[in-house]
Amino acid sequence: MFYNIALYTSLAIFAVGLVYRVSNWFRWKVGPEAAGISSSARVSAAAKGIISTVFSAKIATLLRVFVLDVLLQLWLAKKDFLRWLAHMCIFGGFILLLLMHGLDRFVTSVLFDYYSTLNPFLFLRNVFGFVIIVGLGIVFYRRLLLKAPRPKTTVVDFYAIFILAVIMISGFVLEGTKILSHSIYQEMVEEYSGLGEEEVEELRALEAYWVQGFGVVSPDVKGPFDEKILKQGEELHEMSCASCHSRPQWAIISYPASWVIRPMGLFMDRTNVHIGLWYLHFLACFFGLAYLPFSKFFHIFSTPLYLLVDGVMDEVESDPANMATRQALQIDACTHCGDCTIRCSVAVAINEIPNPNILPSEKLAAFKALLAGRKLNQKKLTRIQEGSHICTDCHRCTDVCPIGINLEKAWLELNERLAQRGYPKPEAWAREAMAAEFDLANLKEKPISLTPVDKAFASALVDSGQASTFSVCFGCQTCTNVCPVVGNDEDPKAVLGLLPHEIMHCLALKQKELAIGSNMLWDCVTCYMCQEHCPQGVRVTDVLYELKNLALKQIKNRAA
């Protein structure tokens, strides 16, 4: 009863999640192609596209992609053999285990004369499980010991591995406790042996045989046993049990596992630990099932589908509605493998600017949140904006993505969406925010207070070797006179606010707001004319650079 409720609940959650995830492929609008195409148009275009593809010569391409890229994942093998091996172990082992063991009622018993206690099923269950354990072992080895370049293992990755590990371990320990269990042995004897309670001698002989050879822990029957008794037990076993119970030693993982827990065997049997383990095992499976559409595991659907779609679609010929759907599917096909981040040209900056949105693998999650229309507060949007603009458009992430996601395109779109929501390139943002706040034109009439001094600002200026050079400025205005930006306008003060030499004065007066509020900062072309020609060696351009750093930090902190 409980089992069924849990099963159907998790199936229902899975179905809802599946519908939600699939609907995203038709709802998300990625790229200019997607504008103006409704979701229903995309659904019907997809249906048409699928039908016309399946009944065309393209079916051969689909089959080839399915075998080589989806089933055998050859692209991964070429890239990194160890990763491919881990992937195949987990993927292959899990699918086989699911079909043979998880869905035994629907698959195995239909096709074969099936007893879970009989070989080859008993043995294969352990073999498949072992294969998964090997796969998980490689994953741990790569991440923890080999320290394969992989800057981020997030909670998402951890959950996926954790659930799988719980399913596997609980399964093996469960089988181990059942091997030891005297009560389960008793149940089987009552049901299958045909021996009555009065046949004490036979019962003892059979039990002795199972204790000696099959690892059952009996409360009263203990060895060493007489040869004769064992012989009698063996005969009884052959007669009543062997036809549907293979030797537990064939359970190549669970049997050794039973040896480890053997000292606690009697206690565990009495306290029905195996029932608890059974609950843990199937609940973990059901939880995994329900969680699947919301987790990284969903890539077992989205990635193969994207590979298939990508194999038969064509930028030029395909229906624009289907191209829009492909774009959305592509974003959803990310497996969070982190290859993009490893190859990212600016990823190193994260050591100084701790914002995960700099890394493409994490930035994509932010992009998905925006696509899904999730409500994001100012702080989060500012973080995404910062990360999104620390990117040199070098295209490496797109080049390296194993499934061919066009990330470059996604970043363009992300910047576009951020700008629409009022979060443009940070420099442009800062320029506006600062200018709006410190209206320099009006300040002409206003007395400027020289106290109190912003001590943090004053000491920051002194701490920086290059910024502190402002202190030797003697006001000759050479910097302003050689500045091509100043020279570009009839009335530079109106456009720029403060001119370079005036900014140096502001620093001497510790006037932070004035210094970082000037448009001059953001219009500086960094041509270094001022610095080159300064007779005093003031590093004017570098001072402006540092002021820009400061201004950006200030508005970032304010948003936080």
Residues that bind other proteins (CB under 8 A): 344-349, 351-353, 390, 392-396, 425-428, 431, 464-466, 484-485, 488, 522-523, 525-529, 531-532, 539, 541, 545-546, 548-549, 552-553
Cβ proximity to other proteins, 95 vs 349, nearer residue: 349
Q: Are 324 and 28 in contact (CB under 8 A)?
A: no
CB of 76 to other proteins, least distance (A): 20
CA distance 310 to 323: 10
Taking the complex as a whole, how short is the minimal distance between the CB of residue 144 and other proteins, in angstroms? 16
Q: How far is the CB of 529 from other proteins (least distance, A)?
A: 7
The CA distance from 145 to 331, in Å, is 31
Burial class of 54 by CB neighbour count within 10 A (0 to 12, 13 to 18, 19+):
exposed
Indicate the residue among 335 and 541 with the shorter CB distance to other proteins: 541
In the complex with other proteins, which residue's Cβ is closer, 221 or 358? 358
Q: How far is the CB of 371 from other proteins (least distance, A)?
A: 24
CA distance 288 to 302: 17
Q: How far is the CB of 84 from other proteins (least distance, A)?
A: 21
Q: Which is nearer to other proteins, 312 or 407 (CB)?
A: 407
Query: Least distance to other proteins from the beta carbon of 392, Å?
Result: 4
Closest CB to other proteins among residues 170, 385: 385
Q: How many CA atoms does the CB half-sphere of 205 hold within 13 Å?
A: 18
Contact call for residues 540 and 458 (beta carbons, < 8 A): no
Query: Taking the complex as a whole, how short is the minimal distance between the CB of residue 389 and other proteins, in angstroms?
Result: 8
Residue 85: Cβ within 10 Å count: 15
Q: How far is the CB of 460 from other proteins (least distance, A)?
A: 11
Q: How far is the CB of 531 from other proteins (least distance, A)?
A: 5
The pairs formed by 18-23 with CB atoms below 8 angstroms and a separation of 24 or more are: 18/293, 18/301, 20/293, 21/293, 21/298, 21/301, 21/302, 21/332
Q: Which is nearer to other proteins, 416 or 532 (CB)?
A: 532
CA distances from 335 to 132, 365, 423 (A): 19, 11, 28
Q: Which residues contact 533 (CB under 8 A, 6 or more apart)?
A: 478, 479, 482
Q: Which is closer to other proteins, CB of 181 or CB of 469?
A: 469
- Answer whether 184's CB lies under 8 Å from 273's CB: no
Q: How far is the CB of 89 from other proteins (least distance, A)?
A: 29
Minimum Å gap between C-beta 134 and other proteins is 29
Cβ closest to other proteins, residue 281 vs residue 501:
501
φ/ψ bin of 225: left (φ > 0), alpha (ψ from -120 to 50), beta (otherwise): beta
**Structure tokens belonging to residue 474:** 């003697």
DSSP output for 146-167:
S--S-S---HHHHHHHHHHHHH
Nearer to other proteins, 243 or 526 (CB): 526
Would you say 240 or 518 has its CB closer to other proteins?
Answer: 518
- Residue closer to other proteins, measured from CB, 17 or 492: 492
Residues 252, 301 contacting (CB under 8 angstroms): no
C-alpha distances in Å from residue 180, one per residue of 234, 268, 270, 496:
18, 9, 11, 84
8 Å CB contact between 287 and 9: no
CA distance 103 to 98: 6
Task: Give me the least distance between CB of 438 and other proteins, in Å please.
Answer: 18
User: d(Cα 9, Cα 1) in Å, to the nearest integer?
Assistant: 12
CB of 260 to other proteins, least distance (A): 38
Complex with other proteins: residue 4 or 392, whichever CB lies closer: 392
- 29 or 539: whose CB is closer to other proteins? 539
Helix axes 360-371, 320-332, angle to 10 degrees: 130
Q: CB neighbours of 527 closer than 8 A, spacing ≥ 6?
A: 484, 541
Q: Where are the alpha helices (DSSP H) in 333-406?
A: 339-343, 360-371, 378-389, 396-400
Instruction: List, in order, residues 6 or more apart from 396 with CB less than 8 Å away.
Output: 340, 343, 344, 345
